[in-house]
Amino acid sequence: MSTIERNTAIVKKAASDLGFEYCGVAKAKRLEEDERRLADWLNKGFQGQMHYMENYFDLRVDPTRLVPGAQSVITLLFNYYPAEQQEATAPRISKYAFGKDYHSVIKEKLHSFLFELREKIGNIDGRGFVDSAPVLERAWAREAGLGWVGKNGNLINKNAGSFYFIATLITDLVLVSDNPFIKDYCGTCNRCIESCPTAAILPEKVIDASRCISYYTIELKSHLKPTLEKGKMEGWLFGCDTCQDVCPWNRFSKPHTTNQFKPIPELLTLTTSQWEEMTEETFKKIFSNSPLQRTRFSGIRRNLQLLKEDE
C-alpha cells in the first residue's frame, strides 16, 4: 500500500469513527461548470435578499483560492433524520432544526477529525466548513461520489436519501480521489416540483430561492414581509421539508442516533397559541442553542403572523 493509499484509508476510518456515515474525496480544482451555473443563478436574482451569496465568487468555485495549497476536498455526510415527529397541531419546523444547532456540533467533529489526521499522518494544513463559508458543498459531494444533486437542489444519496448535513474539509493532503457521481437517478419523477407550495423549484435543477418557504421564514430579514398567495405556507413556521418529504429516495432514510440532534421536547408539541403567547425570554431559554435562533424571536413572531394570514 502506498503512502497516499494509507493516508486515504486513515481519512475514511477517522470519518467513520466520528459518526459520519459517508466520506468521499475529490481533487481540489476549479468547478467550471458549477461556476457558470452559479453566475447565471445570481444574474437572475434567484438569491433574493441573500446578498452574501454574491460575495467571494472566485473562492466559491475554486478551493485552491479559499485554502492556498489545497490538494484534496474531503466531503462528509452526517445523518439528521429524526425518529420523532411533530404533533399535527404544532406549527411545522424543518427537521434539521429539531435539536442542537448543527454548526457547533459538526464543527466540533471537524476539529476532532483534523486533529486525528494530524496525529496519524503528520503536519497537514486544512480548513473545515459547515454551511458558513463560500463552499459549494453539494457540488463537492457529487465530485466525491456521494450522490447527485436532485431536482429539488438537495444532494441525494442512493442508499440513504437527503436528510444529511454536509461538512467539507479542504486540505493540502494528497489523497486517492473517489469517482464523481455522474448518473442522475431522479429520472422522470417530478414530485418535488409538483409539491412545492410556492413553485420555487424550476426546470433544470434551478431553485428560485427568493420564492422558497425556507427563505421566507429563515433568510428574509425579520422586518421584511413576503407577499404570498393565501394557503401557501402550509403550516411551516421555520424552514420547509416538503420537497424532501415527497422524494421517493427518502424512503431509505433511517433515524439518527445522535443525542445532540434529539428534538427539543417543546418543539414537538407547542401549538400555535402557545407560540403566540411565548415571551422572548422563554424563547431564548428553550431555544438557546437551536437553529431557530437564526431568525431570532422577531422572525418567529413575523412567521406566526404569516401563518395566521395564511389560514
In sequence order, what DSSP letters do the residues of 42-93 get, joined into one string? HHTTTTTT-GGGGTTHHHHH-HHHHSTT--EEEEEEEE---S----TTSPEE
In sequence order, what DSSP letters do the residues of 251-299 get, joined into one string? GG------GGGSPPHHHHH--HHHHHH--HHHHHHHTTTSGGGGTHHHH
On the CB side of 20, CA atoms within 13 Å amount to 28
Residue 141 burial (C-beta neighbours within 10 Å; 0-12, 13-18, 19+): buried
Instruction: Name the catalytic one among 17, 101, 125, 131.
Output: 131
Grid-cell match 431559554, residue found: 285
Phi, psi of 65 (to 5 degrees): -90, -30
- 62 classed as catalytic: no
CA dist 71 and 44 (Å) reads: 33
CA dist 193 and 37 (Å) reads: 19
Q: How far is CA 3 from CA 9, 33, 297, in A?
A: 10, 32, 52
Sign, Cα dihedral of 197, 198, 200, 204 = positive
Residues annotated as catalytic (active site), given as ranges: 131
